[in-house]
Structure formats: structure tokens, C-alpha cells
């Protein structure tokens, strides 16, 4: 399928087939794809949790207003924003870039100062909002990539972030939950799979200047 066909095929899956699991290989491909998501300055202001543990998923379901996708899907992916985007974080990123690109760190000094300038001008709340936005880009990449692999998804923000943070111990990790996506395979009796897509018309959506 082309990407366009894949995106037409996908829908926000309400009912997953709980007997079907994503193979380790497919999951690996999906995660490798999401790893390539672009981010502002390349900072990747988030971590991505892959939750399989049944008991934890029961707790997450309760914290998601009982939405069945949390327990019926193959995995639950949690995008969690970094809450400590600071000088140390930027320095680690620059160190790592120099290592990966095999260049002198000094060559990256100007770039580092630009990032540090941006970071220092943001309040703590603005930095967390910034990190959440980056996480949503990764969500978009994951949903699109999954459709190409014929893996079903349900992106979800209908959950209690503070409960998720507590259940997953995110605060101690310097993280806070942004958005989640459940991944797996649709149940044949999920009537949502047959509904026509509702999207703004091109005239309504695009403004050409």
C-alpha cells in the first residue's frame, strides 16, 4: 500500500483483538521508525515507554476511564516528556552529537550556545509544553509508520496524566506523560473500522497564499 492508502486504511481502533500480538520483529521495525522522528534542535525531548505488563496495564486502564484498548491491544506506548531540559541535558546532547559524528566538540559550540539561549529564555512550564509538542510529532510518525506495517493503533489523550506518572514512576525518571498510543490488531467486530473518514474538505483545510 502507498502511504496514502495506508492512512485511509487506518482508523482509531476502539476494539483490539486481544488474541493477536505484534511480532518482536514488527515491533522492532516500528520502534526504529519512531526513533527517526525529527525534533527541535534534535533534542528528542521525551522518552517512549513500551508497556506489556498485564497488571500495570490494568492499572493504566483504570486511569484511562476504563478504555478497553489499554488491556486488549498488543502493547501500550507512552510518550513521556522530559521535565529537565536544562544546561546539563543540552551538554549531554552536544557530547553525544560530537561522538556520533566523530567531530571535535568545539565545532558544535556555536550550535550549543544557540540551544542554550533558547532553553534559558523559556520558563519551566514553557519547556515542558515544548517537550510535549515534540512528543506529539513522534506520535504522528508512529501512527503513520504503523499503518504502513498494517498495525492498528489508537492514539489517546483520554487518560489521567498524574495517575499515569505515578503508576509508571515517571516523576523519578524526570518525565511526565504526554500522550499514549495502543498498538495491535483490530477486532473483526469493531464497527468503527467501517465508518467513513470525517475530515475537513481541502477547501476548508488548506489556505494557499
The CA–CA distances, whole Å, from 190 to 19, 61, 63, 76, 83 equal 14, 19, 23, 19, 37
Round to whole Å and give the CA distance between 159 and 51.
15
Round to whole Å and give the CA distance between 22 and 98.
36
Q: Let me know: does 51 contact 170? Beta carbons within 8 Å.
A: no
130 versus 159: smaller Cβ distance to ligand FMN = 159
The CA–CA distances, whole Å, from 93 to 39, 71, 79, 97 equal 13, 36, 19, 6
> Could you tell me the smallest distance in angstroms from the CB atom of residue 197 to ligand FMN?
5
96 versus 192: smaller Cβ distance to ligand FMN = 192
> At 76, which helix (H) or strand (E)?
strand 75-82
Q: Which residue is nearest to ligand FMN (CB)?
A: 158
DSSP state of 73: S
38 versus 158: smaller Cβ distance to ligand FMN = 158
168 versus 181: smaller Cβ distance to ligand FMN = 181
> Could you tell me the smallest distance in angstroms from the CB atom of residue 198 to ligand FMN?
7
> Could you tell me the smallest distance in angstroms from the CB atom of residue 179 to ligand FMN?
5
> Could you tell me the smallest distance in angstroms from the CB atom of residue 159 to ligand FMN?
7
> Could you tell me the smallest distance in angstroms from the CB atom of residue 12 to ligand FMN?
3
What is the chain's Cα-based Rg?
A: 19
Residue numbers at the binding site for ligand FMN (CB under 6 A): 11-12, 14, 67, 154-158, 179, 197
11 versus 46: smaller Cβ distance to ligand FMN = 11
44 versus 178: smaller Cβ distance to ligand FMN = 178
> Could you tell me the smallest distance in angstroms from the CB atom of residue 13 to ligand FMN?
8
Question: What SS3 state is found at 162?
Answer: helix
What size, in residues, is the chain? 209
Amino acid at each position: 500500500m502507498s502511504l496514502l492508502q495506508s492512512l485511509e486504511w487506518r482508523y482509531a481502533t476502539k476494539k483490539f483483538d486481544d488474541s493477536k500480538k505484534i511480532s518482536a520483529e514488527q515491533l522492532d521495525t516500528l520502534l526504529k521508525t519512531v526513533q527517526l522522528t525529527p525534533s527541535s534542535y534534535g533534542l528528542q525531548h521525551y522518552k517512549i515507554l513500551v508497556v506489556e505488563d498485564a497488571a500495570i496495564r490494568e492499572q493504566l486502564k483504570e486511569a484511562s476511564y476504563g478504555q478497553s484498548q489499554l488491556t486488549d491491544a498488543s502493547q501500550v506506548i507512552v510518550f513521556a516528556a522530559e521535565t529537565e531540559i536544562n544546561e546539563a541535558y543540552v551538554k549531554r546532547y552536544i557530547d553525544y552529537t560530537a561522538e556520533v559524528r566523530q567531530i571535535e566538540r568545539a565545532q558544535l559550540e556555536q550550535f550549543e550556545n544557540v540551544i542554550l539561549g533558547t532553553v534559558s529564555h523559556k520558563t519551566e512550564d514553557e519547556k515542558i509544553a515544548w517537550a510535549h509538542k515534540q512528543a506529539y510529532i513522534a506520535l504522528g510518525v508512529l501512527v503513520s509508520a504503523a499503518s504502513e506495517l498494517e498495525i492498528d493503533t489508537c492514539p489517546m489523550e483520554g487518560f489521567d496524566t498524574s495517575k499515569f506518572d505515578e503508576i509508571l514512576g515517571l516523576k523519578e525518571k524526570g518525565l511526565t506523560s504526554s500522550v499514549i498510543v495502543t498498538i495491535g490488531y483490530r477486532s473483526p467486530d469493531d464497527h468503527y473500522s467501517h465508518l467513513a473518514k470525517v475530515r475537513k474538505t481541502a477547501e476548508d483545510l488548506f489556505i494557499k497564499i
